Structure 1
Amino acid sequence: MLIVLDGVYSAGKSTLIKLLARRFAEESGEPVVTDWNSSEIVGELIPRWKREGRLGAYSLLFAEATDLAHRCETVIRPRLEAGKVVIADRYVLSGMARALIRGADRSLVEAAFGFAPREFLTVLVECPARITLERRIRLGKVLDGYHSGRDFRQGLSIEEDFVEYQETMARLYRGLVPDRGRRIYIDTAAMTPNAGVETIMACVRSLRDAVGAAS
């Protein structure tokens, strides 16, 4: 079972993933959690290339697709075939949205991630852009560069660029490949993390029941 949590920066994905992994560990065994840009072959290189400004729309697309492809080969597929629960901290939607916002061709972007196993459930984690800005400032996290789209366009301030980038990315996430399995939405500005996990688990149980009834 592949469960994906995707969405914009600082929406609250990490908190939900931590709680969700704990819930699965209590109920059905320890899940496997796989992070974006964490493969052995390019996982450490991609952040450095971003800091150095070396990745355009297509080089970013194929670098992140390479990272995911390697993790699919070494982590995700083997665990799924063994019957494990895999929780992905970002997945296909992130790679696609980040390339599209920078001007990459949509048909090529979709084809680049065609290898990825289909999600059992995608949780699109949402939060108003200005709240995510406040969170990043409070936590001392990076706003500049790829985080605010200033690698391909710059406005009057980093803060406003970040907000605009987050809002555009949120629209892209909602408009991408709705046929890749079930999708639900969690607004972390309107729901506590624990309530979000309860919503996710209720959906997982419902989908499991539906699969069982159909088999």
Structure 2
Amino acid sequence: MTPRPSSESKHGLFVSVDGPGGAGKTTIVRHLAQMLLADGEHVHVTAEPSNSGIGQLATEVTPTVTGHALACLYAADRYHHVETEIKSHLKSGQIVISDRYLASGLVVQRFDGVDPDLLWQLNEEVERPDLTIILEADPHVIAERLIERRPHNRFQLAPASSHAEVTYYRDATNALVGAGFEVLRVDCGSRPPEQSAAVIRARLTALLVPSEVPA
């Protein structure tokens, strides 16, 4: 891939990577970033909850705060994340890759019974990624991975959480597609993470090619 020509006015590219716990998001994001760096691209990797005070608070209170309150806190972190970190890197022309973003905001609080329509309303004005990646895998594969690595939060302790989360992500994906988001589904259950990253990189290739300017 030929690196894009540098330009102070060039806007970057925003990519989000979401999927059920155990899908391998962080590993795939790391491989994707390495591939893009090898192509000569400037890459900024971030994650949610963010490292801001709001994000740290969200992480700290997740075990005890539930439902609407936690959904609002995660949404606040998302808006703050965009304004204080993501936009500045996009303005400098970088490729920003976020490990979890909007799709997770449409999924996680459903374990607490929050209406998906409300979750959409809370998040509908956040920055739209240029490409939204949804990692998919058989829920039995996800469940086995969670057992191996151990759950990271209380949501993954719920009975049949992997099956529920896969269903919630399917609903979120349909909502995003219906709203006109550019979505790429990647099956990460039957291939190693570096191959999943290569699939994403292949899709990004077209987005990284500068648009032709009419004469």
TM-score range, shorter chain: 0.7 to 0.9
* 2:128 counterpart SS class: coil
Root-mean-square deviation over aligned CA pairs: 2.2
Distance 1:102 1:79, change over 3 A: same
SS at match of 2:176: coil
SS of the aligned residue for 2:121 comes to: helix
Partner of 2:5: none
CA contact (8 A) 2:19 2:134 kept: yes
| Matching of residue 177 in structure 1 with residue 188 in structure 2 | no
Q: Identify the match of residue 59 of structure 1 among 50, 59, 69.
A: 69
Q: Which residue of structure 1 aligns with residue 7 of structure 2?
A: none
- Aligned 8 A contact 2:19 2:169 in 1: yes
**Letter of the 1:11 counterpart:** A
Whether the 8 Å contact between 2:14 and 2:95 is mirrored in structure 1 is yes
SS in structure 2 opposite 1:212? coil
In the TM superposition, 1:1-215 aligns within 5 A as 1-51=13-63, 53-56=64-67, 58-139=68-149, 141-142=150-151, 145-148=154-157, 150=158, 160-178=159-177, 179-209=179-209, 212-213=211-212
Structure 1 alignment gaps of length 5 or more = 151-159
Comparing 161-170 with 119-128, which one deviates more in the overlay? 161-170
Q: Give the TM-score of the pair, scaled to structure 1.
A: 0.83
> Which amino acid counterpart does residue 185 of structure 1 have in structure 2?
R
Q: Structure 1 residue 101: deviation in Å?
A: 4.8
Amino acid at match of 2:107: A
* Residues 107 and 129 of structure 1, relative CA distance in 2, 3 Å threshold: closer
Q: How many Å apart are 1:30 and its aligned residue?
A: 3.7
| Whole-angstrom CA distance in 1 between matches of 2:39 and 2:152 | 38
**How many residues get paired?**
201
**AA partner of residue 154 (structure 2):** G
Give, as a single letter, the amino acid of the residue that structure 2 aligns with 1:55: T
Match of 1:157 in 2: none
Higher mean displacement: 190-199 or 82-91: 190-199
Q: CA deviation at 1:144?
A: 6.6
Structure 2: 5+ residue stretches without partners: 1-12
Aligned 8 A contact 1:123 1:183 in 2: yes
AA at the equivalent of 1:14:
T
Moved over 4 A (4+): none
Check 1:137–1:100 CA distance in 2 against 1; reply closer, same or farther (3 A cut): closer
Closer, same or farther: CA 180–94 of 1 in aligned 2, 3 Å: farther
Aligned-residue sequence identity (percent) comes to 23
Report SS of the residue matched to 2:53: coil
The answer (yes or no) to whether the contact 1:35–1:89 under 8 Å persists in 2 is yes
Normalising to structure 2: TM-score of the pair? 0.83
| Aligned partner letter, 2:163 | E
Kept in 1, the 8 Å contact 2:20–2:169? The answer is yes
Q: Matched residues in 2 for 1:87 and 1:146: separation?
A: 24
1:57-92 per-residue CA deviation (whole Å, 9 max, x = no partner) reads x11211111111111111101111111110011111
